[in-house]
């Protein structure tokens, strides 16, 4: 068993409008992401299933060409391999769950987030 506290996990600033805190387990990755208003996450896809739980703010997702606005208190599931992007309509905080773990994040192969 391991206990984590978000306030003790390093916040990684990937670009001026996007930061994240990450926990990698054996079979899943949990990330707390911070998006400033106007932040754009470019279209991408990955083999991981993703569950996004919005804690604060509003995000506009485009998932396989379909737009969906997600607000605080809502949860969005993105299936594996489906192209998606996001835009922060206001300062936002989300907790994202990925299964399996984000090996690309561990390797640093996430250049689309660092622009």
Residue 32 and residue 95 in contact, taking contact as beta carbons nearer than 8 Å: yes
Is pLDDT of 34 > 90?
yes
**Which tokens belong to 109?**
């192969």
Question: What CATH number belongs to 6-113?
Answer: 2.60.120.10
CB atoms within 10 A of CB 42: 11
Candidates 79, 13, 76, 88; CA nearest to 45 is 79
Tokens 């300062």 belong to 91
Q: Domains of the chain: which residue ranges?
A: 6-113
pLDDT digits (tens, 9 = 90+) for 70-113: 999 999 999 999 999 999 999 999 999 999 999 999 998 887 78
pTM of this structure: 0.94
Task: State the average pLDDT over residues 18-47.
Answer: 97
Whether the ω angle into residue 100 lies within 30 degrees of 0, i.e. cis, is yes
Euclidean distance between CA atoms 49 and 97, whole angstroms: 8
């Amino acid at each position: 068993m391991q206990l984590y506290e978000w306030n003790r996990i390093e916040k990684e600033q990937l670009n001026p409008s996007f930061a994240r805190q990450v926990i990698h387990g054996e079979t899943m990755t949990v990330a707390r992401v911070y998006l400033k208003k106007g932040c754009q996450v470019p279209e991408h896809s990955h083999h991981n299933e993703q569950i996004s739980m919005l804690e604060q703010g509003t995000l506009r997702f485009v998932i396989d060409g379909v737009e969906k606005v997600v607000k605080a208190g809502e949860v969005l599931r993105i299936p594996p391999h489906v192209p998606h992007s996001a835009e922060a309509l206001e300062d936002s905080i989300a907790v994202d769950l990925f299964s399996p773990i984000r090996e690309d994040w561990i390797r640093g192969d996430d250049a689309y987030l660092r622009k």
